[in-house]
């Protein structure tokens, strides 16, 4: 069984290319997840029932299969349980248009497939806990075991840190969730800010920007994003440090590694690690392209 949420789309969800922005899908998944939690009813494993107990996202993976364009109305998000373990469970999602349920067109279209690993969490002691039998029973009707291997943790970035890849990111008031932590979706925005800043410094303009802003090179479209949440980030005056590196450059794609750290103490603390695969695309046709050598040269120099 799958939980279905008809997610409203907003004009503000769009990026420079006129597609739903990659980070916005995190909002769609979160809205679908919360709607499912409400359907399951009050339970510490599925809905925060006190200030001291709730759910924490441990890991996220999003695969972007095709662009979603804006329209008036909603897009369908199907959510199900892929795995239940003693102290965590994994939710899987498909963002789709399905003509069998009122979607446009004649074929079922999948825009995104994603997973989130969640754990029940006691905020008073800042510790995870195990699922109860009652909580497992609430989740089991939605269990649809996945065929893919479990999503592994994101390894430390393999590229070298550099000045162009360093960005200081302040926490905005709107970045914070009901628990007083930076919301899990906001981390995807921080990853995006880091790689756009890096590419902008190397190319002299943001990727896909108008020609009059410099030489922007081809546009970048995200194909996959993986993110591990390690230590909660909290609102404060001091910015966090985002370090973005280039781990791999292919013919039409590139992989970024990102670490978000707290460098205010004696020892640096890693708050999150991310890895994002992007595809170079033509700004007119939207098809993958191999960048010009002039565009590739600064990327290779930084990644070497």
Which structure tokens are listed for 47? 């809905």
Predicted confidence band of residue 159 (pLDDT cuts 50, 70, 90): confident
Q: How far from 89 is each of 3, 38, 46, 137, CA to CA, in Å? A: 16, 17, 10, 12
49-74, pLDDT tens digit by residue?
344 578 899 999 999 999 999 999 89
Interstrand relation of 219-229 and 53-64 (parallel, antiparallel or unpaired):
antiparallel
**Would you say residue 47 has pLDDT above 60?**
no
Domains of the chain with bracketed CATH: 1-152 (3.10.129.10), 153-304 (3.10.129.10)
CA 259 – CA 24 distance, rounded (Å): 20
Confidence at residue 199, expressed as pLDDT on a 0 to 100 scale: 93
Confidence at residue 286, expressed as pLDDT on a 0 to 100 scale: 84
Q: What's the whole-number mean pLDDT along residues 70-85? A: 94
Q: How far from 124 is each of 54, 138, 179, CA to CA, in Å? A: 11, 25, 11
CA 20 – CA 8 distance, rounded (Å): 12
CA 256 – CA 162 distance, rounded (Å): 13
Nearest CA to 124 out of 180, 181, 52 is that of 52
Q: Which of 153-157, 179-183, 214-218, 226-230 has the lowest mean pLDDT?
A: 214-218
The rounded percent of the chain whose pLDDT value lies above 90 is 69
- Token pair 């907003």: residue: 10
Q: Which of 28-37, 54-63, 100-109, 245-254 has the lowest mean pLDDT?
A: 100-109
Q: What's the whole-number mean pLDDT along residues 103-112? A: 85
Which structure tokens are listed for 230? 């390690």
The rounded percent of the chain whose pLDDT value lies above 70 is 91
Beta carbons of 143 and 40 less than 8 angstroms apart: no
CA 113 – CA 23 distance, rounded (Å): 14
Confidence at residue 152, expressed as pLDDT on a 0 to 100 scale: 81
Q: What's the whole-number mean pLDDT along residues 91-114? A: 88
Residue bearing the bigger pLDDT, 291 or 211: 291
173-216, pLDDT tens digit by residue?
999 998 889 999 999 999 999 999 999 999 887 776 665 666 66
131-145, pLDDT tens digit by residue?
999 999 999 999 997
**Would you say residue 282 has pLDDT above 50?**
yes
Confidence at residue 145, expressed as pLDDT on a 0 to 100 scale: 77
Q: Report DSSP state, residue 45.
A: T
**Would you say residue 10 has pLDDT above 70?**
yes
**Would you say residue 129 has pLDDT above 80?**
yes
Q: What's the whole-number mean pLDDT along residues 169-173? A: 96
Predicted confidence band of residue 148 (pLDDT cuts 50, 70, 90): low
Predicted confidence band of residue 277 (pLDDT cuts 50, 70, 90): very high
Q: What's the whole-number mean pLDDT along residues 86-100? A: 93
Nearest CA to 184 out of 221, 233, 113 is that of 233
Residue bearing the bigger pLDDT, 147 or 140: 140
Confidence at residue 54, expressed as pLDDT on a 0 to 100 scale: 85
Beta carbons of 232 and 186 less than 8 angstroms apart: no
**Would you say residue 92 has pLDDT above 90?**
yes
CA 32 – CA 93 distance, rounded (Å): 9
Question: Which DSSP string do the residues of 88-116 spell out, in sequence order?
Answer: -EEEEEEEEE-GGGT-SSSS-EEEEEEEE
- Which ranges of the chain does DSSP label H, i.e. alpha helix? 24-40, 133-139, 184-203, 293-303
């Amino acid at each position: 069984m799958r939980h279905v949420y008809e997610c409203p789309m907003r004009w503000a969800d769009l990026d420079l290319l006129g597609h739903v922005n990659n980070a916005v899908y995190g909002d769609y998944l979160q809205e679908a997840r919360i709607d499912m939690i409400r359907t399951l009813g009050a339970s510490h494993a599925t809905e925060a029932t006190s200030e001291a107990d709730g759910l924490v996202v441990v890991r996220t993976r999003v695969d972007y299969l095709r662009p979603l364009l804006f329209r008036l109305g909603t897009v369908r998000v199907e959510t199900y349980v892929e795995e239940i373990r003693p102290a965590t469970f994994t939710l899987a999602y498909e963002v789709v248009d399905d003509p069998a349920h009122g979607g446009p067109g004649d074929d079922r279209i999948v825009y995104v497939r994603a997973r989130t690993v969640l754990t029940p969490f006691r905020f008073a002691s800042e510790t995870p806990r195990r699922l109860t039998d009652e909580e497992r029973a609430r989740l089991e009707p939605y269990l649809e075991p996945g065929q893919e291997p479990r999503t592994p943790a994101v390894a430390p970035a393999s590229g070298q840190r550099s000045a162009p890849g360093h960005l200081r990111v302040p926490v905005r008031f709107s970045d914070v969730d009901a628990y007083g932590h930076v919301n899990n979706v906001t981390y995807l925005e921080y990853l995006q800010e880091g790689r756009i800043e890096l590419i902008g410094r190397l190319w002299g303009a943001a990727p896909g920007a108008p020609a009059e802003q410099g030489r922007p090179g081809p546009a970048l479209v995200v194909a996959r994003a993986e993110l591990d949440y390690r230590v909660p980030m909290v609102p404060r005056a001091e910015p966090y440090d985002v370090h973005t590196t280039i781990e791999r450059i292919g013919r039409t794609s590139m992989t970024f590694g990102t670490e978000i750290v707290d460098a205010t103490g004696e020892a640096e603390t890693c708050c999150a690690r991310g890895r994002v695969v992007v595809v170079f695309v033509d700004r007119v046709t939207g098809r993958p392209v191999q960048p010009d050598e002039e565009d590739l040269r600064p990327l290779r120099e930084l990644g070497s």
